[in-house]
Chains A and B, each alone.
Chain A
Amino acid sequence: MEKLFMKGNEALAEGAIRAGCQLYFGYPITPSTEIIEYMAAHLSKRGGTFVQSESEVAAIYMVFGAAGSGQRVMTASSGLGISLMQEGLSYMAANELPAVLVDIMRTGPGLGGLGPTQGDYFQATKGGGHGDYHLIVLAPDSVQEMADLTATAFDLADGYRNPVMILADAVLGQMMEPVSFENIHVHTYEKPWATTGAKGRQRNLITSYNLQNETGEIKAIHLEHKYQAIQEQLQWAESYQTEDAEYLLVAYGTSARVCKGVVHALRATGVKVGLLRPIALWPFPTQVFQSYLDHVKGYLVVEMSAGQMIEDVRLAIQHQAPVSFYHRQGGMVPQQEEIVAQFNRVFLEGGHTS
């Protein structure tokens, strides 16, 4: 299989183009800027087009317009830029418009810094904008997955008619690894709802305005049922050396990469430990946890935030075993030795506090 050596952000952009994304709208922001620059350099040579908009607000509404036509469309930004897009995302979820958006997180709150972080988990998975809605959120942990999950994101977006977010950090965006695009193909979906011209059929109108509470409730129930179906069908996690595991690390993205090293280090000392890596962050892979509940003695969640995903882990395991936490913040990446030390302190030396 032919492999190219690419930056995560570039692989993501190339993956999107190969999955049939012909339209891109965005505004530069570190550490996501390689994506817009890649689209600027490549889309027009491959039949697509792109606009550097005047702001993220404009970008998300350009995405909104293009998505309404049924075309595959993407935008990318970082933290604060994603914040500016929240109104548009809520509108897109309400109108059930498929699109892919990418958050290469930077530290916050506020202007923050450019270092790696996972501080946008809540914003990504719990809403972010107004109203009762969800984005599907996928979390890659390698350059290959930056490409693959982006391609999958377009299929999920079209299949469920919902915006899908790729949530990654600056390490994944900036680092280089070999990547193959051979498994990425364009899949096409019927889109009878799209505003493609009403010749010969009833016109399609994209709107999320409900003047009557009765119709508002019908619409809300429709969305609720859709999100329930997604939760049942999309339970997606990687189970790494978990078969005989007595303890589980839980981490996603760059934290999960570090945790794989932790698994090796601890297993070398005879500890039966594995890693559960959520790949879909929303819906959270709660069901995947079920099969571990009766024999896992303790969980260690590792995040680059003050503790966000840990809330979903606690809900998933329903307090059946202790859940401990290790984290670094502000652009710092947790190191393998630190996590090993924390694990030993909490589970092997009996110092658990949680």
Chain B
Amino acid sequence: MATVTVKDFRNDVRPNWCPGCGDFSVQASIQRALASLGKQPHEVAVISGIGCSGRISGYINAYGFHGVHGRALPVAQGLKLANRDLTVIAAGGDGDGFAIGLNHFMHSVRRNMDVTYIVMDNHIYGLTKGQHSPTSAHGFTAKTTPTGNIENAVVPAQLALGAGIDFLAQGFSSDVNQLVSLIEQAIQHKGFSLVNVFSPCVTYNKVNTYDFFRENIVNLDNLDGYDSTSRVEAMKTVIETEGLCTGLIYRNDNRQDFEDQIPGYLTTPIAQQNLQLSPEIFAENLKEFA
């Protein structure tokens, strides 16, 4: 089989994201990661929610599902169980994942199916034109917080660790090389993985800009001796940086994923099993009613 390149994951749909939107880099990083892992487009499905970010499934040449606001993860899990050989990537925005979809996120982490979840976290609702999101900071002004947000922001990495995640990474749209590597590792990890990406909305978020993230992010790749196998260190780092850190935050490869624990679940994907009933088996089954 010819080797795959990034081009194989491109299609001719032109993204209608605003020029400068962080989501362009996320799309490119997913495409590069898939190519460098040697995946074929037909081996991959990208399941996205609704939001500007949710459009990503339409821009990658793979199987896709442009979903329902907040429900990318349940759809992804249903698909994964039906065809366990597929590389299933769920993707969406911070509103999609941590507002309307938050309970699905917590339960997906806990369930630990082999699905990679990539969140484009811009701290705002982009598609509906600029309302605050669950990751918007206290005091943040947006169209529905004209005098400043009086709610506290969720810290996705903290939620993920709290729910017991085994693979947690964060990236930044400006650092594509790091992001590609994180997505590759996340896909290779057997079990649920989260890559939360700081992906600025240049149109509606004038606070959490590229410069803001550049100035405030702690890159764990540059921290000497950071131990990404320690859950305690991961939690401590996330709390100390108020969630504003990038790199591989935590990884544990010592737990089985959900699929491997399902009693009687075959290695042949359900989608590829021969469900044709032989006359002998049919006759055998009929005896029950005799």
Point out residues on A near B: beta carbons under 8 Å.
27-30, 33, 36-37, 40-41, 44, 52, 54-56, 80, 110-111
**Chain B residue contacts of A40, Cβ below 8 A:** 143-146
How many residue pairs, one in A and one in B, have C-beta atoms under 8 Å apart?
41
In the complex, are the beta carbons of B100 and A27 less than 8 A apart? yes
Given the interface pairs A27-B100, A40-B145, A41-B146, the reply to whether A55 lies near B70 with Cβ below 8 Å is yes
**Chain B residue contacts of A44, Cβ below 8 A:** 147
In the complex, are the beta carbons of A28 and B100 less than 8 A apart? no
In the complex, are the beta carbons of A33 and B99 less than 8 A apart? no
B residues 228-247 touching A (CB-CB < 8 Å): none
Question: Is B7 at the interface (CB under 8 A from chain A)?
Answer: no
Min distance, Cβ A215 to any Cβ of chain B, angstroms: 34
**Chain A residue contacts of B70, Cβ below 8 A:** 55
In the complex, are the beta carbons of B143 and A37 less than 8 A apart? yes
In the complex, are the beta carbons of A80 and B143 less than 8 A apart? no
Count residues of B near A (Cβ-Cβ below 8 Å).
Answer: 20
**Chain A residue contacts of B69, Cβ below 8 A:** 80
Question: Is B128 at the interface (CB under 8 A from chain A)?
Answer: yes
Q: Which residue of A lies closest to B70 (CB)?
A: A55
In the complex, are the beta carbons of B128 and A29 less than 8 A apart? yes
Min distance, Cβ A121 to any Cβ of chain B, angstroms: 22
Question: Is B131 at the interface (CB under 8 A from chain A)?
Answer: yes
In the complex, are the beta carbons of B131 and A28 less than 8 A apart? yes
**Chain B residue contacts of A56, Cβ below 8 A:** 100
In the complex, are the beta carbons of A52 and B102 less than 8 A apart? no
21 contacts between A and B (CB under 8 A): A27-B99, A27-B100, A28-B131, A30-B127, A30-B128, A33-B128, A33-B129, A37-B131, A37-B144, A40-B144, A40-B145, A44-B147, A52-B131, A52-B132, A52-B145, A54-B99, A55-B100, A80-B68, A80-B69, A111-B50, A111-B66
Task: Compute how far the CA of A110 lies from the CA of B65 in the bound complex, rounded to whole angstroms.
Answer: 13
Min distance, Cβ A3 to any Cβ of chain B, angstroms: 26
* 0 or 1 for each of B143-169: is its CB under 8 Å from A? (1 = yes): 111110000000000000000000000
Top 8 closest A-B pairs, CB basis? A55-B100, A28-B128, A40-B144, A54-B99, A52-B144, A28-B131, A37-B143, A41-B146
Task: Compute how far the CA of A137 lies from the CA of B134 in the bound complex, rounded to whole angstroms.
Answer: 33
**Chain B residue contacts of A37, Cβ below 8 A:** 131, 143-144
Given the interface pairs A27-B100, A28-B128, A55-B100, the reply to whether A36 lies near B144 with Cβ below 8 Å is yes
Task: Compute how far the CA of A72 lies from the CA of B70 in the bound complex, rounded to whole angstroms.
Answer: 30
**Chain A residue contacts of B144, Cβ below 8 A:** 28, 36-37, 40, 52
**Chain B residue contacts of A80, Cβ below 8 A:** 68-69
Min distance, Cβ A209 to any Cβ of chain B, angstroms: 24
B residues 94-117 touching A (CB-CB < 8 Å): 99-100, 102
Given the interface pairs A28-B128, A111-B50, the reply to whether A54 lies near B145 with Cβ below 8 Å is no
Question: Is B192 at the interface (CB under 8 A from chain A)?
Answer: no
Min distance, Cβ A57 to any Cβ of chain B, angstroms: 8
Task: Compute how far the CA of A36 lies from the CA of B142 in the bound complex, rounded to whole angstroms.
Answer: 12
